[in-house]
Amino acid sequence: MITGELKNKIDGLWDDFAAGGIVNPLEVIEQITYLIFIHDLDETDNIHAKESAMLGLSYESIFAGEVEIGDRKVEGSQLKWSIFHDYPASKMYSVMQEWVFPFIKTLHDDKDSAYSKYMDDAIFKLPTPLLLSKVVSKLDDIFDLMTESQNTDVRGDVYEYLLSKIAQSGRNGQFRTPRHIISMMVKLMQPRPDDVICDPACGTSGFLIAAGEYLKSEYKEEIFFDKVKKDHYMNHMFFGYDMDRTMLRIGAMNMMTHGITNPYIEYRDSLSDQNQDKGKYSLVLANPPFKGSLDYDSVSTDILKVCKTKKTELLFLALFLRMLKVGGRCACIVPDGVLFGSSKAHKAIRTELIEGNRLEAVISMPSGVFKPYAGVSTAILIFTKTGAGGTDNVWFYDMKADGYSLDDKRSEVEENDIPDIIERFHNRDKEVDRKRTDQSFLVPKQDIVDNEYDLSINKYKEIEYVPVEYPPTEEILGNIKSIEAEIQSELAELESLLNEN
């Protein structure tokens, strides 16, 4: 979460858009994202040039020499944020409108790239030079504050805060999974360089970016110094689907800014017959839509065979199983109702996870995790597709704190179970002797079967009652009489003082 001066600058930026006549929150964030991307193109180009120089490699800047824009050629350096942001308002506006924006729309010749697909219909909507000048100036201040920040995840926090404006405007479901929860899920799953990763409800690509950042951190040399693995990372590893073109555009630019040049970000209704993916992915990371009821006609028949329901949260679980290859893993967020719902569909999907595949963990999260945008109680399910069972012991964890207060303010606090969750999940063999009164414990499959496949932690958690010893009744009565005598004595003393006056 961002606070203080940075938050005030973003709020001021938002106010400038409103004063300039752009009030639709999606349009505002779209235009801000374009400008952030234009700034980052300059910054990333400089970083790549420096890295290449250090490694003794040749590097050709995208801004080098003359750049062809339509039927004209312009000096590439004029398209750099660091150059045009100092221009007078009118000149900056004409450079942006006539050169920079057309340049980013045609940046990739590959029309099948995620970036090109969602830039084709992009429109520069800032109406006046004055508004552009104000916005660029405020963004410069924001970039400076981001650079000075000690928070290594400040860029993600800024995006999250911007996207919170969409949620506040009432658009259902357009809020992001908190980045620290995404990071936890990625660390639980530990993506590998040969993985093929998918989020079928990707929004702004938060899970895909976090997975990419994890891989860069853990396998940097392996990925970037192996030609085959680098090609896989850049072009064949990341897949994301969504039904909101604006979110897809933001997500595609977000990934490109994070160094993933050609992710497969596609407009698709993942639950429909548009989605033909079967056994394709080795890792699914997702927080699918919770609320929603679909007509049977709009849902793929393959998914309905596993779980005949209109509830999206159940349909997505069936979808994950279909999309994963055998041996593929999944970490997904579900509302608590999925864990204990008594309908035939609820029981069917839980049975399939446990009997047909390998359910590994259920992490119960507190209801404040998604505040201030939603107060729903949620859990993380982790499972592996086997197609032939394999569930033995399921690991349960009762998360009580995530490092932030569980009210609408979501202020940072010391209490944080996330490091403990990651450590214990990867050492589940040491959890065998844990009691069910502890915060985490293992539950044998048969216990879950006996409880009709109920996965709510309260079904298995035992509460340890500590007996309280009270003194004998005679002693309590004696204490009461002693206190009463003291009160009477002090009242008599007070009455005496009043009579003297």
Give residues with Cβ within 8 angstroms of 441, minimum separation 6: 395, 396, 431, 434, 435, 460, 461
Any idea of the CA torsion for 169, 172, 174, 179, to the nearest 10 degrees? Answer: 110
**Alpha-carbon distance 157 to 407, whole Å?**
18
What fold characterizes domain 4-159? Ferritin (1.20.1260)
pLDDT of residue 104: 79
Q: Is the bond leading into 178 cis (omega within 30 degrees of zero)? A: no
DSSP calls for 377-445: -EEEEEEE--SS----EEEEEE---EEE-SSTT--EEEEE-HHHHHHHHTTGGGGTT--TTSSEEEEEH
Residue 93, pLDDT > 50, answer yes
Give residues with Cβ within 8 angstroms of 229, minimum separation 6: 193, 194, 222, 223
Give residues with Cβ within 8 angstroms of 350, minimum separation 6: 338, 339, 453, 454, 455
Confidence band, pLDDT 50/70/90 cuts, at residue 172: very low
Confidence band, pLDDT 50/70/90 cuts, at residue 160: low
pLDDT tens, residue by residue, 470-492: 888 888 888 898 899 889 888 88
**3-class SS at 286?**
strand
Confidence band, pLDDT 50/70/90 cuts, at residue 150: low
pLDDT tens, residue by residue, 425-459: 999 999 999 999 999 999 999 999 999 999 999 99
pLDDT of residue 198: 96
**3-class SS at 23?**
coil
Query: Which residue has 């009210």 as its token pair?
Result: 407
pLDDT of residue 299: 63
Range with lowest mean pLDDT among 121-135, 242-256, 353-367, 441-455? 242-256
Residue that wins the pLDDT comparison between 55 and 399: 399
Which letter, b or e, does each residue of 315-340 get, where b requires 16 or more Cβ atoms within 10 Å of its Cβ?
A: bbbbbbbbbbeeebbbbbbbbbbbbb
pLDDT tens, residue by residue, 95-145: 999 988 888 777 655 444 555 566 666 788 999 999 999 999 999 998 888
Please give the angle made by the CA atoms of 114, 98 and 15, to the nearest 5 degrees.
80
**Alpha-carbon distance 141 to 157, whole Å?**
16
Residue 167, pLDDT > 70, answer no
Contact 377, 362 (CB under 8 A): no
Residue 295, pLDDT > 60, answer no
The identity of residue 246, as a single letter, is T
Question: Which of 332, 272, 347, 334 minimizes the C-alpha distance to 304?
Answer: 272
Residue that wins the pLDDT comparison between 316 and 164: 316
**Alpha-carbon distance 386 to 352, whole Å?**
11
What fold characterizes domain 180-459? Rossmann fold (3.40.50)
pLDDT of residue 447: 96
What is the rounded radius of gyration, in angstroms, for the C-alpha atoms of the chain? 28
Please state, rounded to an integer, the average pLDDT across all residues of the chain. Answer: 85
Contact 352, 299 (CB under 8 A): no
pLDDT tens, residue by residue, 20-71: 999 888 788 889 888 887 888 888 888 888 888 887 878 888 888 888 887 7
Report yes or no on whether pTM surpasses 0.75: yes
Range with lowest mean pLDDT among 70-84, 194-208, 286-300? 286-300
Instruction: List the chain domain ranges.
Output: 4-159, 180-459, 469-501
- 4-159 matches 180-459 in fold: no
Q: What is the pLDDT averaged over residues 177-198?
A: 94
